Structure 1
Amino acid sequence: MNPSATDWIPKFLSGLERVDLTTKFKNRTNFYTYLKETGFIYGVSVKAILDETVSNLDLTKEEYTKINLFHALLYFYFQSNPKGSFDDAIGSINEFYNKIDKGKTGFLRKLTLSQSNSQHLESVLSSRLQETNTALKKNNTSILTYALLFVDVLAYIKWLSKPRAIKSYAKQLENSVITCCFFALKAKQNKNKYDRLLIDLFESSTEYLIADTSAQDITSLQQLKRISNRSDLEKKYILDICIIAVWDDHEMDASEFNFLQNLTTKLKLPEKELTTSLQDLTSFSDKYTETIQLFEYSNPVKLFYKQSAATVKLLILRNKKRLIRELEESGELLVLLSQSTLRDLNPEEKHKVKEQLLDVCKTIPSLTIFLLPGGTVLLPLLVKFIPKLLPSAFNENRIQDKKN
């Protein structure tokens, strides 16, 4: 079975029964623990959840990630529909992704009417991993994108029981996760250059992430609404992601640990949950430190920031002509981006920039990375680099303004 080839889903499922994907796990929490042991929650899958060998090939991190995402979606489908079939599950997952991606025509444009249901889902999962984006190098998709894929799973769980307003739910959950990561970074006692750069990026992203909210309005965990009302799986996931955010030197200073204790309290999780989560990451790191990219670097925050900045620059340059044309046609967006180099935009202007930039991204396949999990947090980099890397478009705009 080759997860990078067409019809990998039927081959993966051949020889498997529904019970093979579900009965190994005592409950949802137990499944989450197994999923975390694969590295999926940390954004670096190093194996599949199944005990059986899923392929005779030497699979990549991306391929294991795809298999684990599919398995997780199947598991929770059968939890809600114990008598359902594989075909039913695939149809349900396709319907879910259609709901959360409604309006993102560029994101799923490559899907054709001639595809079978399983081929359609294969294309969707590939899009979620952005593996078909030829403008990106093999290892250039950010760790954040893979780590946030579990938001898809949590949103699917919610959709299975309460399908209404699922897009809003998924967005709010992702925003809560990213905002908690921001506070985790701010809690670090000894911040290095890249910690500060990433904090600045998160702060500048706040108004893009949360409508009608400024960075100054959210200064502590206490101001995050309804975070304590989330499900147990959502709470565990938020805690695990925040632990990753401060995991750079494999040590925990007092301020970092104090933040994680406060977060655990805010989430209304038992204190032992924090101890378990720390032990899980330590164990995973010790076991796979020589084989996975995240821990080959002394500072994963540095890796994420440099990786993200390089990716955004590459995408802008690779799509230079198309971007200039789209910006010139947009009018208002070009003016606002030009103004952003001279002054801070107000919240209303930032909201306009976000919506119009995302519309542009939908029309350019290589830029659909900004529609992926965590993509919105990179928008400030796009706003920052477009005027610098495409100066001709803005110079011409200023000339026209003077003439008018």
Structure 2
Amino acid sequence: MNPSATDWIPKLLNGFRPEDLLGSNKNEVDFYSDLKSVGFIFGVSVSSLLGKNVSSLQLTKEEYTKVNLFHALLTTYCYFNNTNNFSEAVPKIITFYQQLEKGKTGFFKKLTLSQTPTQELEHILSARLQETNTSLKKNNTSILTYALLYADVLAFMRWLDTPRAIKNYAKLLETLVISCCFLALKAKRKQTKYDRLLIELFESSSEYLIETASGTQVITLQNLSRLKKLNLLEKKYLLDICTIAVWDDHQMDLAEFKFLQDLIAFMQLSEDELTKSLKELSLFSEAYGSKIKLFEYSNPVRLFYKQSAATVKLLILRNKKRLQQELEESGELLVLLSQSTVRDLSEEERHKVKEQLLDVCKTIPSLTIFLLPGGTVLLPLLVKFIPKLLPSSFNENRIDPKKK
């Protein structure tokens, strides 16, 4: 199953029994704990709830996140309706996102003929992952991570029970999350330059903060009276989000801990919930060595390069054998690529590499991204990762780790 290719949802549904997909528990709180154990709540999905057998491929964080989001929505529907009829769940999830007006697909996706419901949902989920990284736009920065995706699941729960006014609920929930994170950052005694940047972004974002504070920019817990009206699952999620917000330096000073204590007292949660939240976050971080962040400042150019590099690397790894075969059949290209690892190529040689690489990409469907308008911008990234595929005899500077 490849979550980056079409029809991965039918493949997933047909590859597992209903009882395997739904798990042994029928409790939303227990399922929430399961999602936290794989990193979905933390915004760093390290696996799916189904384990490694969900795919024979080495999935990326984004692909695991996409699978876990679908799994969470599917399970929520089945728990609520006490059913394992997955064919009914997919149209309901699509209708939910349409009413929420999120996860909108692009213009060209809409023109796709004979699109099945599962294919439409696949496009929606992909678009939803893109939206979470651009939800708070200011000064061309992208700072929100995948940790906020669970808000979709909470909104879906509410929609199944009360379909009306779901947009108002989703906006309220997002506003409460953002406002509490703002207060968590303000509580930090030692604020980094990125903390200060985020605080400035929040303070200038009237969509979130001014509306929350009844027309003022002074945000306090006392102003967020709706926190007391949240259900247990919503409160646990909001506490976990605030815990992540102050965790990026892996330290907890007295001011940060005091804010978290005030938060649970205001929401009428027990001290055990805070202790459990901190412990689970610490254990996950230690187990996977992940740098868990709720917010991540990124320059748009750097973000584009980072995402493009990850995409190119993934395409190369998944087409390794075919690409290696095509390169070996193109003798001159192979020689030039190998020489590029030890010297700068001339203008004529770089032109030859560009033309011959595009010819190679034509023979591998997954690499057609390089043939699109502007795709040649990614060619240097392709060249960067290809030397790893070449035989060691072509790279004189490669050091054998065993002999080092």
User: Structure 2-normalised TM-score?
Assistant: 0.68
Cα distance in structure 2, aligned partners of 1:206 and 1:45: 31
Counterpart of 2:177 in structure 1 is: 177
Q: Is 1:99 aligned to 2:99, yes or no?
A: yes
Give the 3-state SS of the residue equivalent to 1:206 in structure 2.
coil
CA displacement, residues 123-162 of structure 1 (integer Å, 9 cap, x when unaligned)? 000101129x9xxxxxx99562411111110000000000
Give the 3-state SS of the residue equivalent to 1:110 in structure 2.
helix
Counterpart of 1:397 in structure 2 is: none
Cα distance in structure 2, aligned partners of 1:229 and 1:212: 15
Q: CA deviation at 1:250?
A: 1.1
CA contact 2:179–2:219 (8 Å) conserved in 1: no
Q: Is 1:305 aligned to 2:304, yes or no?
A: no
Cα distance in structure 1, aligned partners of 2:75 and 2:45: 17
Counterpart of 1:115 in structure 2 is: 115
Cα distance in structure 1, aligned partners of 2:106 and 2:263: 35
Cα distance in structure 2, aligned partners of 1:232 and 1:38: 21
CA contact 2:142–2:297 (8 Å) conserved in 1: no
Q: CA deviation at 1:52?
A: 5.9
CA contact 2:155–2:166 (8 Å) conserved in 1: yes
Q: 1:157 to 1:105 in 2, by over 3 A?
A: closer
Give the 3-state SS of the residue equivalent to 2:204 in structure 1.
helix
CA contact 2:90–2:118 (8 Å) conserved in 1: yes
Report the structure number with the largest CA radius of gyration: 2
Residues 74-85 of structure 1 aligned to structure 2 (within 5 Å): 74-85=74-85
User: What letter corresponds to residue 15 of structure 2 in structure 1?
Assistant: G
Cα distance in structure 2, aligned partners of 1:178 and 1:185: 11
Cα distance in structure 2, aligned partners of 1:66 and 1:173: 21
Which sections of structure 1, spanning at least 5 residues, go unmatched? 134-139, 315-404
Counterpart of 2:223 in structure 1 is: 223
Q: 1:18 to 1:307 in 2, by over 3 A?
A: farther
Q: 1:208 to 1:249 in 2, by over 3 A?
A: closer
Q: CA deviation at 1:205?
A: 1.1
Cα distance in structure 2, aligned partners of 1:212 and 1:42: 25
Cα distance in structure 1, aligned partners of 2:172 and 2:274: 23
Q: CA deviation at 1:17?
A: 2.7
Give the 3-state SS of the residue equivalent to 2:53 in structure 1.
coil
Q: CA RMSD in A?
A: 2.9
Q: CA deviation at 1:304?
A: 1.2
Q: 1:233 to 1:105 in 2, by over 3 A?
A: closer
Larger mean Cα displacement after TM superposition, 201-210 or 74-83: 201-210
CA contact 1:207–1:215 (8 Å) conserved in 2: no
Give the 3-state SS of the residue equivalent to 2:122 in structure 1.
helix
Cα distance in structure 2, aligned partners of 1:61 and 1:214: 38
Q: 1:171 to 1:275 in 2, by over 3 A?
A: same
Counterpart of 1:384 in structure 2 is: none
Q: CA deviation at 1:85?
A: 1.2
Identity %: 55
Which sections of structure 2, spanning at least 5 residues, go unmatched? 134-139, 307-404
Cα distance in structure 2, aligned partners of 1:174 and 1:187: 20
CA contact 1:22–1:75 (8 Å) conserved in 2: yes
Q: CA deviation at 1:267?
A: 1.4
Moved runs in structure 1, 4+ residues, more than 3 A?
A: 104-109, 140-143, 206-218, 306-314
Q: 1:95 to 1:84 in 2, by over 3 A?
A: farther
Q: 1:277 to 1:180 in 2, by over 3 A?
A: same
Cα distance in structure 2, aligned partners of 1:250 and 1:279: 12
Cα distance in structure 1, aligned partners of 2:298 and 2:227: 30
Q: 1:2 to 1:141 in 2, by over 3 A?
A: farther
Cα distance in structure 1, aligned partners of 2:28 and 2:55: 26
CA displacement, residues 57-91 of structure 1 (integer Å, 9 cap, x when unaligned)? 00000000000000000111001112351110101
CA displacement, residues 89-133 of structure 1 (integer Å, 9 cap, x when unaligned)? 10110110111017x8676762345210000000000101129x9
Q: Is 1:288 aligned to 2:265, yes or no?
A: no
Cα distance in structure 2, aligned partners of 1:215 and 1:181: 19
Q: CA deviation at 1:18?
A: 2.4
Give the 3-state SS of the residue equivalent to 1:304 in structure 2.
coil
Cα distance in structure 2, aligned partners of 1:266 and 1:77: 31
Cα distance in structure 1, aligned partners of 2:238 and 2:232: 10
CA displacement, residues 283-341 of structure 1 (integer Å, 9 cap, x when unaligned)? 0000111xx4x35xxxx47x712457965999xxxxxxxxxxxxxxxxxxxxxxxxxxx
Q: CA deviation at 1:51?
A: 3.9
CA contact 2:143–2:297 (8 Å) conserved in 1: no
Cα distance in structure 1, aligned partners of 2:238 and 2:284: 18
CA contact 1:206–1:214 (8 Å) conserved in 2: no
CA contact 2:210–2:216 (8 Å) conserved in 1: no
User: Structure 1-normalised TM-score?
Assistant: 0.68
Larger mean Cα displacement after TM superposition, 4-13 or 22-31: 22-31
Cα distance in structure 1, aligned partners of 2:7 and 2:194: 42
Counterpart of 1:376 in structure 2 is: none
Q: 1:143 to 1:212 in 2, by over 3 A?
A: closer
User: What letter corresponds to residue 121 of structure 2 in structure 1?
Assistant: L
CA displacement, residues 16-69 of structure 1 (integer Å, 9 cap, x when unaligned)? 232222232251111100101111111110000124610000000000000000
Counterpart of 1:200 in structure 2 is: 200
CA contact 2:99–2:167 (8 Å) conserved in 1: yes
How many residues matched? Answer: 298
Cα distance in structure 2, aligned partners of 1:28 and 1:192: 36
Q: 1:255 to 1:81 in 2, by over 3 A?
A: same
Residues 190-339 of structure 1 aligned to structure 2 (within 5 Å): 190-207=190-207, 210-211=210-211, 216-289=216-289, 292=290, 294-295=291-292, 300=293, 304-307=296-299
Cα distance in structure 2, aligned partners of 1:240 and 1:59: 25
Cα distance in structure 1, aligned partners of 2:305 and 2:219: 30
CA contact 1:129–1:145 (8 Å) conserved in 2: no
Where relative contact order (Cα < 8 A, 6+ residues apart) is larger, the structure is 1
Counterpart of 1:43 in structure 2 is: 43
Q: CA deviation at 1:233?
A: 1.0
CA contact 2:142–2:296 (8 Å) conserved in 1: yes
